[in-house]
Amino acid sequence: MSAPGADLAPLVVGGGFAVAAVFGWVAARTNFCTMGALSDVVNMGHWGRLRMWVLAVAVAIVGTSVLVHLGWIDLSRAVTRRPNLPWLSLLVGGLLFGVGMTLAGGCANKNLIRLGGGSVRSLVVLVFMAVASYMTLKGLFGSWRAAWLDPVSINLGERGFPDQGLPTLLARGSGLGAGIALWAVSAPVALGLLWFVFKDARFRANRAQVLGGVALGALVVAGWYVSGHLGYGEHPETLETVFFATNSRTVESLSFVGPLAYGLELLMLWTDSSLHMSFGIASVLGVVVGSAAYALASGSFRWEGFASVADLRAQLGGALLMGFGGVTALGCTIGQGLSGLSTLALGSFIAVAGIVAGSLATLNYILWKAERE
């Protein structure tokens, strides 16, 4: 725990911005994109970028497990680990997000990176995504989500499980201690992912992708450390022990769809004294600044607009689907695909399976349509 009585919000906000800025630089440098990785596999049979993503997941799992083992963070309080498992919301939200990011040519993270590189098109996509995500959090779409999807869930708390983490499920089911169960799950999962990554000689020889995957996974771990350890302390006014400057009021790492909605709310209601800059909003800005710094340094900064009306239509439709799907699935390809999986939450695996399935289905449909034409 940090020093009692200190206002840790600036530290959390600044830390989130710094972590995300490095994330944006590395992602831009390595052309990191989950949708692009899946597209490479479907269209070219090339697995390099997908292996980089899997490597980042493995590093994030190991690093996050170390933080938990040391007692520096409490993941049982993370949103992805809550005992209620809204499996239908996670699956449907993931599917729609996967379809949306494919139509838009990239997920929230990729559009933030493109915005830093000069893409006005991505700015429009992000605005529409922010509107849709806000409507899913607090507006019309949210009422649909709450009425039709969220009620279809499994309450693990009623079955004696304090959270939905796979280590917790193993510990309660087998009688193992929490520490042993943590490594009994995380070690085999991480080793299996690492085997898949490094069995390919071509990937092993690609130094940029190897270092990029390690760095991106480590930055997710750094996000947990900033919000869950440095930002956990006694509030100077209420004297309660709280997580400072996170929208969820608990431990967070990198995620971009929900923070886009909160960022939009902050801009629209700037004079509302109850609203403040948060870890998530700062991380959104950090990715843009980091990718912009790389684009300017490398000479790759270019202004970019929409290619056609059809492109505009696909991009905006994808943005709306990503906004709804990302909030419903409790995260995007980063919020669930990296941060969520690093918590070993059962729901995160469901959401990521939905994202991948939605994207692959859309990619194959686009390929089939192009071949017919």
Q: Specify the DSSP element, H or E, that contains 257.
A: helix 257-268
The whole-angstrom distance between residue 18's C-alpha and the CA centroid of its chain comes to 17
Q: Give the separation between CA 213 and CA 217, rounded to whole angstroms.
A: 6
Phi, psi of 232 (to 5 degrees): -110, 115
Q: How confident is the model at residue 237 (pLDDT cuts 50, 70, 90)?
A: confident
Indicate the average pLDDT of the chain. 96
Short-list 145, 133, 96, CA closest to 264: 133
Crossing angle (nearest 10°) for helices 309-328 and 87-103: 160
pLDDT of residue 159: 93
pLDDT tens-digit map of 50-102: 999 999 999 999 999 999 999 999 999 999 999 999 999 999 999 999 999 99
Contacts of 61 by beta carbon, 8 Å cutoff, 6+ apart: 186, 189, 190, 193, 341, 342, 344
pLDDT tens-digit map of 144-179: 999 999 999 999 999 999 999 999 999 999 999 999
Q: How confident is the model at residue 2 (pLDDT cuts 50, 70, 90)?
A: low
Short-list 94, 142, 116, 156, CA closest to 333: 94
Q: Give the separation between CA 166 and CA 64, rounded to whole angstroms.
A: 14
Q: How confident is the model at residue 265 (pLDDT cuts 50, 70, 90)?
A: very high
Q: Are 156 and 83 in contact (CB under 8 A)?
A: yes
Q: Give the separation between CA 331 and CA 350, rounded to whole angstroms.
A: 12
Three-state secondary structure call for residue 368: helix
Which position has the token pair 């019309």?
A: 140
pLDDT tens-digit map of 5-60: 468 999 999 999 999 999 999 999 999 999 999 999 999 999 999 999 999 999 99
- Answer whether residue 1 shows pLDDT above 80: no
Burial category of 155 from C-beta neighbours within 10 Å (exposed 0-12, middle 13-18, buried 19 and up): exposed
Tokens encoding 322: 């990503």
Predicted TM-score of the model (pTM): 0.96
How much is the average pLDDT of 280-294?
98
Q: Give the separation between CA 292 and CA 301, rounded to whole angstroms.
A: 7
Q: Are 243 and 249 in contact (CB under 8 A)?
A: yes
pLDDT of residue 236: 85
